[in-house]
Amino acid sequence: MTVKEIALKCTKAGAYFSLGGIRLYDEYDNIYPIKFSIKNSLTSNNFYIMGKDITGTVSTKNSYGTYYFVDSPFDTDKSIVTNYPNVNYWLSSSEDTINISFDKSVKISRIDFVPYCGNGADRAQTTVEAIVKDEFQNVILQEKYSTSTYAVNQVYSALTPTLTSFRSALLKSNENIYSYESNNAKYDTKMTSNTTPSPLVASASSIYSSSYPAWLAFNGTRTNVNNCWITSLLTDQWVQIDFKDKKRVSHIEVVGMGVNTTSSPKNFTVFGSNDGISFYPVLKINNQTNWGTFESRGFNFNYVVNYRYYRFHIHDNNGYASYSGVVDIVYSHKGSDLLKLNNSSKKSFVYYGNTRLFDLNKPIKEVDYVLEGEYTNSSKYILIKKTIKRKPLSISFN
């Protein structure tokens, strides 16, 4: 499973929150070698994974200081076993979550962590909750681990079927054999003005001031309190993007406000249009309360829509009296192409077997038909593949 964000949320038993020995494993159960160019940062630090084109950030709101840094539990140069004064763990008295985010999706099969890192029972945890999201902000793992036994330096593992690989599988229905291919598209807009990059155009029903224009909802920046679209009115306000051509959409990701989080949307509707005049409701969401700072929430459509314009309409916020707004909005399409195979042979499993079961809640496109031929030459075979968009009346091989 590919992962974009991880949160480890602690419930303290004593006076402090602490975590150590956080290790991330790839699909082959090898530890990702995480390194920090500059170490010993209190609340945020950037890392890279050696041998991979992957960077990321670890962050929290507070660290206790002196020895207990936010990067300490992740640094694979350090041991997971720690005793005073070798304090290789994060410690805080006022914040219960460490967040990890990657610049791109990463294959992760297991997450290890140490919830009780010595130095007395005041640094123990009652529970640690692991919350893992994919690139579309879907929660693919959310489990709470009871750590109240307080065994010093005991390693816990977040390991569930949602993060591990299945054996290859094909699907069978009415004597037909099927596989599938993911068909995902994320429309990262990264706008720098209401009309840049071309041909994108952003607009809004109102803005609080020229410092909070419509395009700031589509620029991809998510951790700057001044980088957001804000309305001049409280209710029934919208921000819109014109893609200039139709985009298939089945998912929206919304990032709430960085300050005054009660100004984040509570009830909203997404509308679609192809002419910019007639708009049709395609998603209606209510009762989105208790937004965290820069919290991201993802919402799946009931069906795939295909429009040029998408309008995010806030009906009301969570009670803030001066304005409503959002930090970022990303539209995407998440679906699958179903492939019909002519048999369930060993070669079909090797070439088309899925390493995990697909999500039946995702929209599936029309069936593609795959033709196969086998030629034997010195105990080796050649697989001939041809994909067609409709069922053939006849098939022949030359």
Query: For residues 184 and 311, which has the higher predicted lDDT (pLDDT)?
Result: 311
**Owner of token pair 């006849």:** 394
The answer to whether domain 186-333 has CATH 2.60.120.260 is yes
Tokens coding 379: 């105990």
Kindly report the average pLDDT of the chain as a whole number. Answer: 82
Tokens coding 275: 């002419």
d(CA 142, CA 278): 40
d(CA 21, CA 311): 45
CB 110 within 8 A of CB 16: no
pLDDT mean over 53-70: 89
Number of C-beta neighbours around residue 257 at 10 A: 26
Query: Would you state the pLDDT for residue 68?
Result: 86
pLDDT > 70 in the chain, percent: 79
Query: Would you state the pLDDT for residue 355?
Result: 47
What confidence tens digit (pLDDT) does each residue in 305-328 have? 999 999 999 999 999 999 999 999
Torsion-angle region of 175 (φ positive above 0: left; ψ -120 to 50: alpha; else: beta): left
What confidence tens digit (pLDDT) does each residue in 122-143 have? 888 888 999 999 888 888 888 8
d(CA 64, CA 78): 19
What confidence tens digit (pLDDT) does each residue in 109-118 have? 889 998 887 6
What confidence tens digit (pLDDT) does each residue in 203-244 have? 999 999 999 999 999 998 888 889 999 998 888 999 999 999
CB 32 within 8 A of CB 26: yes
Handedness of CA 67, 73, 74, 78 (dihedral sign): positive
- The DSSP code sequence of 320-342 is -SS--EESEEEEEE--EEEEEES
245: three-class secondary structure by DSSP: strand
Give the closest residue to 117 by CA, choosing from 129, 130, 128: 128
d(CA 327, CA 137): 15
d(CA 377, CA 52): 38
